[in-house]
Structures are given as C-alpha cells and as structure tokens.
Amino acid sequence: MPNAELHPEPFTAKTDPAALADLRARLRATRWPDAPDDAGWTLGTDLDYLRQLVEYWAEEFDWPAQEARLNELPRFRAQVGGRGIHFVHARAVTPTGPVLPLVLSHGWPDSFWRYAKVIGLLTDPGAHGADPADAFDVVVPDLPGFGDSEIPTGPAPNSIEVAGLWAELMDGLGYARYGAAGGDIGSHVSRYLALDHPDRVAAVHRTDAGLAVFNGNPADLTPEERDWLQGGAAWGAAEGAYAAMHRTKPQTAAFGLTDSPAGLAAWIVEKLRVWSDCAGDLESVFSRDEILTNLTIYWLTGTIGSSMRMYNANAAIPPAQLARRVEVPSGFAIFPGDLVRPPRAWLERTANVVRATEPARGGHFAAFEQPELYAHELREFFRPYRGAR
C-alpha cells in the first residue's frame, strides 16, 4: 500500500491569459543583436532562424492546445522530502504479466516533457504492436527547480539528493521494487538510485555514462578509453561554455534568460540542435510546436535559473562519489547523435553491464526524438527483471 506520508494531489496546469499576453508582448518587442554575414550557427544560435521561431511563438503558437495535451497525462503534485514535486504517474494498461514500475529521470534543458511521447508506449505496449507483457507503471517526476516542481529556496539539490527523493516518492506510491532509467542529469540520478538503493532498484538503464572522471593511472585504461577521455576534453573546450556558466555563475545568466523569452529560446534551441540527431536541421527532429512547448514550460514556470543551479550543486559532489561502480544490473543505449559516446570498456569499468546497444538513430533526447526505439530498448532491457527478486 502507498506510504501514508505521501498525499498526491491531481495536478492540472492552467495558464493565466495575462501571462500569455505578457509573453507575446515581450516576443514582439525583442531587441535583436547583430550577426556577421553568413554566420549561421557557427557562433551560436542562428539569427534568421530565431527570428522566424520567435515570430511563430508570438503570432501562431497555440499554447492552450499544447497545455491541454500535456494535461491528458495523469499528473500529480506531492510533498516529497519537504519539496513540492510534480510527477506523471501512469499505470500499466491491461498487463498480462508482472508489472515493473519504472521511474524516468530527465535532464537539462527540459522537464517531464522529455518523456511525453514514450509514456503510452511503455504503459500500453499492446496498443503499439508490442507485447502487452512488457507493460510498465511509469513515474516521471520533474526535478526540483524544473517544470512544475517547486523551485528550491535554498541551494539546489544535487543528483544524490534527488535520487533520495525519488526513492521516497516510489516508496510513497507503494513500489518496493522498481527499475530506473534516464539521461543527462537523469542518468546521474538513476545511477545514484542504483548505488544508494540497490535493494530497491531491480535494474538501471541509461543513455549515457556522463562525462568521464578518472583519477587513476592512464596506463590502466584501454586505448579506446584514453581516446574517449581526450575526446571529452576536446568537446568541453568547443561546446562546454554553457556548462561552465551553469556550474559557476548561473545567476548571472538567469537575469537575461528570465527576462527575455527570445534570449531563453537562443540558449535552449542551440542545444536542442547540437545535441539531437538532426544533421543540422533542427525541425527534422522537433516540430516548432514541440520546441516551443519545451520553451514555454520553462518560461511560464520561471525555472531557467533554478534548473541551471543544479549544475553548480553537482559540481560539488565529491570525486569519491563519482568513482563508485554500479553493481545493480545496468543497461546502456548509446544513441549515435549524443554528445559523447563512451566505449564499452568504460561502461564495464563503471557498471555491471548486462546490455549495451547502439541504436541506429537518435541523440541526446532519444525518448523524444525516437520514442519507439527508446521504448524498445527499455522493454528489452528490463524484461528479465520483471518477476525476479
């Protein structure tokens, strides 16, 4: 039975029309920067593309329709560890075997939005051409300071602390044993769930292994691991400026990004493009409405600053925590368009790997970019752990 301490309340988002009017006014009043001729995306977000996106956001985007679609999901709020947490809790539909609960953890720059397309595929696989025996109960929380979860008034929690919150949430929902999956920050949260609650987590699935941290003798690494470490350093030099800002001075960026929706769009859209498997054509993977749904969630909840502050919290995690090996059965799906793609040797060094795949398509936001492929990966990986204890 659910823990009596948890009192989930149904949650329905309903935006004040005045907030939408203010958003449109700000978009129409955008003060645009200059850009060198033919700069394109080489220096960051492309000016011409963003002008078109902002015009569509201001004049055509139907947020109430998108909000209504998100409200079709079974959404709740509850006090978890003294924090107001928003989450989707979708139960398996007509299962034909043991149901494994699954907690899915998102990352930055998104929210529960990351998993919106995949929830139905996981709770009702029979309706999508898959085996009904593979149905999950699915829980998708918003990290504290993201989406519709409460913005922390003090320091942001780190991934270890959030893993503790998720363990409390799952206990409160009546789940003594469950699977965990995630990517980006959600990969770290899922990892710490497995590390700190191995008696509860049946298995853990991740779409990345994080950025490599290795303080040992490089001679102990395989050539592939050494190449990956060097590639990660090169990626950080070329693409990691955003993360350095988030880790060190997130409040400085938060002023502009909280005040200007065009600025917010520039900060996030460039990451959607670079991190997805879109070959430079962002709208081949995300429709404009999908992009703007993610952006509008950030804008209306005012969570860009609080979401960035989690990088600062995670940067203070002791190296000894980062070096722990996950002994819970672990699976990885390393999608081709993701940021950094660790070799199998590194995965096995850091986790008890029982399955590692490289799907044909998809990037950092695989659950949204390729929901069918992502759902297939989860069904295949977690199948042996449904009835086992």
Residues annotated catalytic, as ranges: 184, 311, 364
Query: At a CB cut-off of 8 Å and minimum separation 6, what does 336 contact?
Result: 277, 358, 359, 360, 361, 362, 363
Whats the size of the chain, residue-wise? 389
Residue with tokens 């959600």: 186
Q: How many other C-beta atoms are found inside a 10 Å radius of the C-beta of residue 279? A: 9
CB of 165 closer than 8 Å to CB of 78: no
Token pair recorded at residue 15: 């935006």
CA distance 291 to 262: 13
CA distance 311 to 190: 16
CB of 204 closer than 8 Å to CB of 181: yes
CA distance 308 to 156: 9
- Asked whether the CA dihedral 343, 344, 345, 347 is positive or negative, the reply is positive
Per the omega criterion (within 30 degrees of 0), is the bond before 33 cis?
no
Query: At a CB cut-off of 8 Å and minimum separation 6, what does 316 contact?
Result: 158
Token pair recorded at residue 338: 């993701």
CA distance 74 to 88: 6
β-strands 9-10, 75-80: how paired? Answer: antiparallel
- Asked whether the CA dihedral 303, 305, 306, 308 is positive or negative, the reply is positive
β-strands 9-10, 326-333: how paired? Answer: unpaired
Query: At a CB cut-off of 8 Å and minimum separation 6, what does 215 contact?
Result: 319, 323
Helix, strand, or coil (residue 306)? helix
